[in-house]
Structure 1
Amino acid sequence: MTALPSPRHDSALGILCLCAGLGLFSVQDLILKLLSGSYPLSQAMVFRSLTALPLLLLLAHRDGGLGTLFTPGTRAMIARGLVMFVAYAAYYLALPALPLATAVALYFSAPLFITLLSIPMLGETVGWRRGLAVLAGFGGVLIILRPGAGVFDIAALLPVLSGFCYAVSMISARRLGQRESAPAMAFWGNLVFLGIATAMALGFGGATAPDLHPSLAFLMRGWVWPTPLDATLMAGCGVIAALGLTLLTQAYRIADANAVTPFEYSAMLWGILWGWAFFAEWPDALAWTGIATIVAAGLFVLWRERVTRQSS
């Protein structure tokens, strides 16, 4: 077993890793939304995972050797991979049914969940100011969801589930990162993705009825022989996954969560841009209100966390 050096603390590099990873993943979101009307999610994830596998092995080899993949923490990394799979699958399934900016905005309940989960998982204390901000943030989520309104889509709950699972995985990354490498965590996460996506392909092998909900169709559609361009795009998602997962994991591994998390919101800019440029999507006034509320609440929570840490 290869010894792994302790990660150095570098907030600036952590922020850079996070922004780069989110920029890469925004391109993957765009690709999957473009492909979601013709191919099943399992096919895209298998192509992605197979392409990412050798790249992750190379990254692991360069970052301490392949021995860093097999440690006493392997089971914990696999468990984190399962949580990551739910996070990403839920988000991907929302893409064919929702405007891209809406899916991204609802996913950004994740920083609010991180604050709540830091209480039981990290033993942190959340004061009344942050508590009120978290409530305001979830109020913004409700504004976008619009429960009871005629525009409500059940698929809108998927990005919220994704945000919750992502929060769990990122807190786990901070704890695991004290003894595991970022490529190792990304490798086992990718292996979990490949195994479950393969099982999904076997379980949902038949063609689906044309009147299924877009998210269900993306989940249950049978495999389709891809065009060369579409196959290249799916494989490109593997390159994005390998680099993106490693960058995001590295960000939370080498920097404090409260330093890097505010920059998660840079992904919202990409979601709005890609939605406008490729799908002629633009949030309405109520959606902008919800987006602004979520962002403001999240940034306030993160600011209060920093103030609390500095005063303690």
Structure 2
Amino acid sequence: MSKNSVGLAIFLLIIGNIVAVFSDALIKTLSADGAVFQFVFFRQLTAIIILLPFCLFNRAENLLVGLKWHILRGHIWLFGAIFMVLAINSMPLATANAIFYAAPLLMLPLALLLFQERLTKTTILAAILGFIGVLIVIKPTEITWAAIFAFIVALTMALNNILVRKLPKQLSVFQVLLLTNIVGTPVALALAIWEGRTWDWSAMLTAAGSSGFILIYAGICVMVYRSIEANKVASAEYTGLLAAVAVGIVWFDEIPDLSMALGAAFIILPLIWLAKNEAKQNKLAKLEAVN
């Protein structure tokens, strides 16, 4: 992806976040007292099965380059998945997703600390307005364990997206995703065994569907954040909230209230403003280059 393809990157992130909501919806169909660690292990396992055919045609001699970063991201991804299951099964789908979308705001200081990315007033304001929208949606009158779990998910999402920059450029998206899941599988299996629940293989189909959807999102994140500065496109992550509202209404009869509509406006409108401002800046830069 070209480093100037900000518009395309934003479009891909919008698609990825919409697709990711369906992964969350499948998780919400699980029994509230189901085996969490077992389901997360099934997700890891089915992700590997899905990805292997796509990796067979890629050269693999450099697969172990940057292994420490794969191990770090793989375990961040694993624990994020655990807390995601706990959060989604404890609150409405749109509310959980609203908290997940604190991730773009968290990415800004992380990008500054890890990569010294320059934060403009525009990107900072857009992220702050988006986060205000998140707060309006969740109406934080009290802190619950479910909300804490959801915020941990947001932190793991932010870290994973930022750390994409540390991965070797020669690896394909499929190889990156495969390694992310492989390195976390031993810990996932150990946790599932420690959980001590009877193995319920019927959950494997749900896990496979959830893995398929989330892999599309994760692959898009790898493509985008490898080539575009996070502060320019991270606000596009917020748009999945609208999909979460729609899926919550249709699938789970979760009717949003006025605060959801107001919060969504705070989330979406800054994104539109940010995209238009970026397009304007790119146009001015091209004109200056011509002159």
TM class, shorter-length: 0.7 to 0.9
Q: Is contact 1:136–1:297 with CA below 8 Å preserved after alignment?
A: yes
Moved more, 233-242 or 107-116: 233-242
Task: Please tell me whether residue 288 in structure 1 is matched to residue 258 in structure 2.
Answer: no
Task: Tell me the C-alpha RMSD between the 2 structures.
Answer: 3.2
Which amino acid in 1 is paired with 2:187?
A: I
- Find the counterpart in structure 1 of residue 73 from structure 2: 80
Aligned-pair identity (%): 27
Q: Residue 154 of structure 2 aligns to which amino acid in structure 1?
A: G
Aligned to 1:178, the other structure's residue is in SS state coil
Report the alpha carbon displacement of residue 275 of structure 1 after superposing the two structures with TM: 0.6
The one-letter code matched in structure 2 to 1:67 is: E
| Cα separation, partners in 2 of 1:282 and 1:297, compared to 1, 3 Å | same
Q: Which runs of 5 or more structure 1 residues have no equivalent in the other structure?
A: 1-6, 206-221
Task: Report if the CA contact (8 A) 1:134-1:301 is conserved.
Answer: no
2-side partners of 1:18 and 1:130: how far apart? 16
Q: How does 1:76-225 map to 2 (within 5 A)?
A: 76-149=69-142, 153-176=144-167, 178-205=169-196, 222-225=197-200
> Which residue of 22, 29, 32 maps to 2:24?
29
2:61 is the alignment partner of 1:67 = yes
Amino acid aligned to 2:67? T
Say how many residue pairs are matched: 284
CA contact (8 A) 1:50 1:238 kept: no
Counterpart contact for 2:98–2:138, Cα < 8 Å: no
AA paired with 1:106?
A: I
Within 1, Cα distance between the matches of 2:175 and 2:4? Answer: 20
Q: TM-score, normalised by structure 1?
A: 0.76
- Name 2:247's counterpart in structure 1: 274
Q: For residues 264 and 282 of structure 2, what CA distance do their matches in structure 1 show?
A: 27
Instruction: Give the 3 Å change call, closer, same or farther, for CA 298–159 of structure 1 in structure 2.
Output: farther
Q: Is the 8 A contact 1:21 1:244 kept in 2?
A: yes
> Equivalent residue of 1:35, what SS?
coil
1:92-117 Cα deviation digits (max 9, x unpaired):
22101111111111211111122222
Provide structure 2 residue ranges, at least 5 long, that are not aligned to the other structure. 286-291
Q: Quote the Cα distance in structure 2 between the aligned partners of 1:118 and 1:305.
A: 18
CA–CA separation in structure 2 for the residues paired with 1:267 and 1:114:
17
Match of 2:288 in 1: none
- Is the CA contact 1:262–1:299 (under 8 Å) kept in the aligned structure 2? no
